[in-house]
């Protein structure tokens, strides 16, 4: 029996065919120039990653999502999918809108439904739990307009995957792949990092009970100091090739802009992986968090509110290297002192790489370190 | 008129008083639920989701599968 997509149906938006139709629709409709983030959302709506959402949210869905963490039909959903438009936007007479990129190339056709305003402060407070502009998600919300347009995506142009086409699988494809591999229990691993040993242990602990692991790194806009997309993909390829049993891993990327909404984003991460056909998702410490905005295990707690999520979260405590255990451990299995432990800190790793140092093998696999050391630009500037 | 306040988004369902009291007794002992209504909502969502997702067919046809398998093979996933 297949694992149900979220909301019971895998959304598929048809592709715009033929250039004549493209030109016609472009010239007759009013247009909205959309951001790269919106373009990526269109990609994810069109291939069902964001099922059952079929377009940009209207007022009823928006309000229920921020108030009750559910779509208007009661389906769990924690972060609104909005299309912001300039304050002076006029919908025009046509009931369709062409969404275009910076070069006015059409990206898709929207069936216009509503034009309404949101309170950015309320959005910030409800989604991120803070109104502080120091939070990157809040800053982004404040910088966008408070006018939004809703509607169903009628069709989309071929939306490119920024050079990562060969590593981008759609939910339809992963679902077929898992069936072909004979996997029933598939645990998803969300990441935006090059893997250190701590990540590997989370994955392998999951793999110990599942049939396979779906490693699904997030590519797209990142913060300065984060690993670049190329390095994230290549380091994972090195790790999988050298340290995983054959046929135990599917590695494919997700085009998605991190929101840093902590617990609420953890739910969205789970929903997206459910749509890819995963039965489980690994949720670590401070999942999708930033700074000190969320408790270290707030992203674990929130799952209790969703008995109907349809994907099982597997919660992990942080792994570290313990000198006394002489191996990788975590709080649940190691009785030793803090001073016996070496924690896997991203900041520490970055400093080592910036000074050309190879981290110890207890910290990161040498094959993974090599990829980073060989890269001219391992970090986002 | 459309109702938009969160308060208006609730309705009443009747359950036997005996069941209500039984749930109330139980949740006083166990933390996690604020009220009988919270508990009932939680349990119903769990059960309804189970029924809704029973025997959902895969969202693709056999032609889709052949095409998808060809791409997966070309990319080295199969
Ligand atoms: Zn120990």
Domain ranges of chain A: 6-157, 166-374
> Which residues of A are designated catalytic?
192-193
Task: Tell me if chain B has a CB within 8 Å of the CB of A70.
Answer: no
* Residue listed under structure tokens 């409800």: A126
Quote the ipTM score. Answer: 0.91
Taking CB atoms and an 8 Å cutoff, what residues of chain B touch A67?
A: 6
pLDDT at A30: 86
pLDDT at A221: 86
Checking if the pLDDT of B6 tops 70, the result is: no
pLDDT at B57: 78
Residue A191: which of A141, A249, A130 has the closest Cα? A249
Residues A362/A230, Cβ–Cβ less than 8 Å? no
pLDDT at A19: 56
The CA-atom distances, in angstroms, between B32 and each of A304, B25, B29, B36, B39 are 9, 13, 10, 11, 9
Checking if the pLDDT of B55 tops 80, the result is: no
Question: Average pLDDT over chain B, rounded to whole?
Answer: 86
pTM of the prediction? Answer: 0.94
pLDDT at A93: 73
Tens digit of each residue's pLDDT (9 = 90 or more) over A22-31: 555 566 678 8
Beta carbons of A5 and B4 less than 8 Å apart: no
* Residue listed under structure tokens 């895998």: A10
pLDDT at B2: 46
Q: How many helices (H) and strands (E) does chain A have?
A: 12, 16
Q: How many helices (H) and strands (E) does chain B have?
A: 3, 0
* Residue listed under structure tokens 């054959």: A246
The CATH number given to A166-374 is 3.40.50.620
Taking CB atoms and an 8 Å cutoff, what residues of chain A touch B64?
A: 172, 176
Distance CA A69, CA A149 (A): 20
Residues of chain A with pLDDT under 50: 1
Average pLDDT over residues B27-47: 90
B30 pLDDT band, cuts 50/70/90, is: confident
pLDDT at A267: 98
pLDDT at B1: 42
Based on its alpha-carbon atoms, the radius of gyration of chain B, rounded to whole angstroms, reads 23
Count of Cβ atoms closer than 10 Å to residue A193 Cβ: 17
Distance CA A60, CA A62 (A): 5
pLDDT at B4: 46
For A166, phi and psi rounded to 5 degrees? -75, -5
The correct answer on CATH 3.30.565.10 for the domain covering A6-157 is no
Of B6, B71, B77, nearest to A250 by CB-CB distance is: B77
For B57, phi and psi rounded to 5 degrees? -70, 155
């Amino acid at each position: 029996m297949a694992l149900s997509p979220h909301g019971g149906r895998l959304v598929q938006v048809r592709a715009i065919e033929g250039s004549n139709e493209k030109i016609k629709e472009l010239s007759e409709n009013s247009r909205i120039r959309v951001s790269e983030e919106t373009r990526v959302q269109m990609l994810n709506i069109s291939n069902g990653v964001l099922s059952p959402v079929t377009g940009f949210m209207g007022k009823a869905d928006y309000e229920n999502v921020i108030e009750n963490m559910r779509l208007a039909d009661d389906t769990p959903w924690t972060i609104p999918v909005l299309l912001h438009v300039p304050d002076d936007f006029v919908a025009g007479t046509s009931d369709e809108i062409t969404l275009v990129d910076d070069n006015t190339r059409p990206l898709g056709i929207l069936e216009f439904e509503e034009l309404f305003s949101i309170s950015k402060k309320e959005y910030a407070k409800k989604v991120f739990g803070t109104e502080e502009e120091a939070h990157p998600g809040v800053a982004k919300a404040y910088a966008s307009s408070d006018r939004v347009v809703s509607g169903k995506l009628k069709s989309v142009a071929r939306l490119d995957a920024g050079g990562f086409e060969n590593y981008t699988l759609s939910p339809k494809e992963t679902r077929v792949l898992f069936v072909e591999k004979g996997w029933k229990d598939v645990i998803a691993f969300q990441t935006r990092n090059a893997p250190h040993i701590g990540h590997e242990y989370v994955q392998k602990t999951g793999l110990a009970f599942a049939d396979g692991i779906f490693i699904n790194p997030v590519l797209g806009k990142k913060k300065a100091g984060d690993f670049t997309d190329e390095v994230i993909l290549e380091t994972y390829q090195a790790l999988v090739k050298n340290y995983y049993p054959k046929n135990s891993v599917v590695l494919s990327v997700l085009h998605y802009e991190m929101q840093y909404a902590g617990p609420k984003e953890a739910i969205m991460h789970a929903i997206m992986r459910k749509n890819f056909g995963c039965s489980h998702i690994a949720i670590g410490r401070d999942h999708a968090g930033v700074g000190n905005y969320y408790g270290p295990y707030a992203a674990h707690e929130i799952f209790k509110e969703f008995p109907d999520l349809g994907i099982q979260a597997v919660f992990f405590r942080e792994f570290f290297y313990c000198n006394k255990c002489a191996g990788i451990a975590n709080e649940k299995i190691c009785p030793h002192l803090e001073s016996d432990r070496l924690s896997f800190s991203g900041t520490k790793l970055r400093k080592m790489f910036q000074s050309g140092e190879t981290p110890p093998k207890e910290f990161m696999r040498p094959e993974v370190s090599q990829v980073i050391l060989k890269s001219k630009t391992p970090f986002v500037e | 008129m459309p109702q938009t306040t969160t308060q208006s988004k609730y309705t009443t369902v009747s359950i036997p008083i005996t069941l209500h009291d039984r749930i109330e007794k139980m949740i006083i002992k166990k933390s996690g639920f604020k009220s009988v209504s919270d508990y009932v909502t939680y349990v119903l969502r769990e059960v309804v989701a189970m029924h809704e997702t029973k025997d959902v067919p895969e969202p693709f046809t056999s032609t889709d599968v052949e095409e998808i398998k060809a791409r997966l093979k070309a990319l080295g996933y199969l």
